[in-house]
Structure 1
Amino acid sequence: MESISIYMSGTRTLDTITRQLELAEDEILVKMTQASICDADLRAWSGMHMPSDLPSFAHIGHEGGGEVVEIGKKVREFKVGDKVMAFGPLNTFSHYFKGPVQNFIKVPDGLDMEIACLGEPICVGMFGVFHSGVQLGDIALVAGLNFQGMIAVQGLKKRGAHKVIAVDYSDAHLALAKKIGADFVLNTNTQDVREEIKELTKGKGVDTTLHSCGYWNPRTEDYFNMCIDITRDEGVLSSLPDMMSPINVGLHRLHHHAIDIRFNALMHHSPEFLRIWVPLLMRPVVQGDIDIKALITDSYPLSQVNEAMKKFSEDEDQVKILLKP
């Protein structure tokens, strides 16, 4: 099978190439319905440091999904015509892409494919919510309103938070967070967030904090330390995104004030772990409890992937940009 694919040949350089795809016996071939740009894609494209234990981003794209058009001779988990969600480095920025069965999960019955093709980043965000430690009646804070942060705003509220505070640097992000359920929004560019939180919580700090500012974002360190500072004694601080370069953080407060620190990393467990968790994480989305459509801020044809990446890089109001064949 010959496929038109996107290849990252250098910093800020995405080339359209023709790629030959030959199926191994445990692989499936998928016709791409939709892909999307991850913050990690943006970091790699920008030429920032990438940890050595990550797979190459040259054949770019790990978010997306589509329809199975061919299966390897040992494949029993899927059949031609199945709709699937991609989980892993599969070069989803491609008209066709392939991979082993362990990197795919069937789309839940009846789910809109535009949402289903966002299954991987949805599940990453939902996993953060499920493991946030939020309790009924908590005051919760989400620091960083990327795609997963926006999911957390909704999920923490649905999971029992009495109030959710959303913190970001983009007024557009904050307005969207307010629309989808945040009770308070604070802009780190124009407000003293620590003082505002102190006032809102009568000096106690928030019960549950979810940090969602990482990957390419230069505010990662500031936001992480802010989360440490404003989490109450014996509260929970969970961090969702990958922070791919070292940062300096105030560990003393975490220890001395008995703060429970959690790193929620759905995609770095075994395939068996994903098969258990993905259906559970997608269930609230299938049921309509979490609004995903509102988080899609732009869409481009795959042929304009360079323009799409440039847009995501330069426009800090973007949340999730889709790519279509």
Structure 2
Amino acid sequence: MGDLTRLVLKRLGLGLLTLLVVSILIFFAVELLPGDIAEAVLGQSATPETVAEMRRQLGLDQPAVWRYLQWLGGAVQGDFGVSLVSGEPVSEAIGDRFVNTLFLAAYAAVIAVPISIILGVTVALLRNTLFDRVANVLTLTSISSPEFFLGYILILFLAVKTNMFPAIASLSSDMSLSELLNRTFLPALTLVLVVTAHMMRMTRAAIINLLASPYIEMARLKGTPPWKVIVKHALPNAWAPIINVIALNLAYLITGVVLVEVVFVYPGIGQALVDAVAKRDFPIVQACCLIFAATFILLNLAADVGAILTNPRLRHPK
């Protein structure tokens, strides 16, 4: 077995171990919530006999460790139980919503990733110029602003005052692609403003750090044009940190969309999580949290593997 395969398998094992620990935290955190789940479902007027029967149906009369093992075994097979509110399987209740969240994240990523890389390289070339200072101020402002604040600002100027885009991202199955892109533009733009700023600054920092390397100085002394120094020499060696920050921001696009989906009433898994918390629908809460954790860990694993593949020093640590 090669060093590269061993490193990838080691990262995969650590990812699975992390996901196992997170699943334990998710399940028992819900268990520690105050109140009785059966009483919350039936209401305060329920009789003790009815509550006891509901606890039996939900399996609450069994030890918590046994219920966790049953839940984990079902989750591995894609079975997260049954919704306490609607009675339908959790996988069916959140399946379409998770697809909607993935679409929104992909929509934002297609816009944010190329823009952030191009801007990062550009401001690295124009370091300490007026353009660089303005870009830094704008990106710091974007990073410092909460997502819900940016969302409301966009709604005010692009939906209320100009009526260019709808303020509520309502979706239907018979929509065309152009209409779908139009209705989801504002939530996607909100995510773009947040992640583009972070990715641009990290790309700029990675390029500027490499510009001080001896081989870059040698390329400059030979008269190589500045754009060629960046594209041919600096950028290939900066891919490892850039890939890491892109993967982390893609993870944020999927796991950090809760506030954005609530602001725009977008039918995604973040909105489903908020609704489930309000209704105390704990199977959906646990499933959403586990999906978020698995997605974040998977994309972090992808970032680690990408860094290993693009950096010879990580492939051959000795």
User: Would you tell me which structure has more helix in proportion to its own residues?
Assistant: 2
Task: Report the TM range for the smaller structure's normalisation.
Answer: under 0.3
User: Would you tell me which structure has more strand in proportion to its own residues?
Assistant: 1
- TM-score scaled by structure 1? 0.23
- TM-score scaled by structure 2? 0.23
Q: Whose RCO is larger (CA < 8 A, sep 6+)?
A: 2
Structure of larger gyration radius: 2
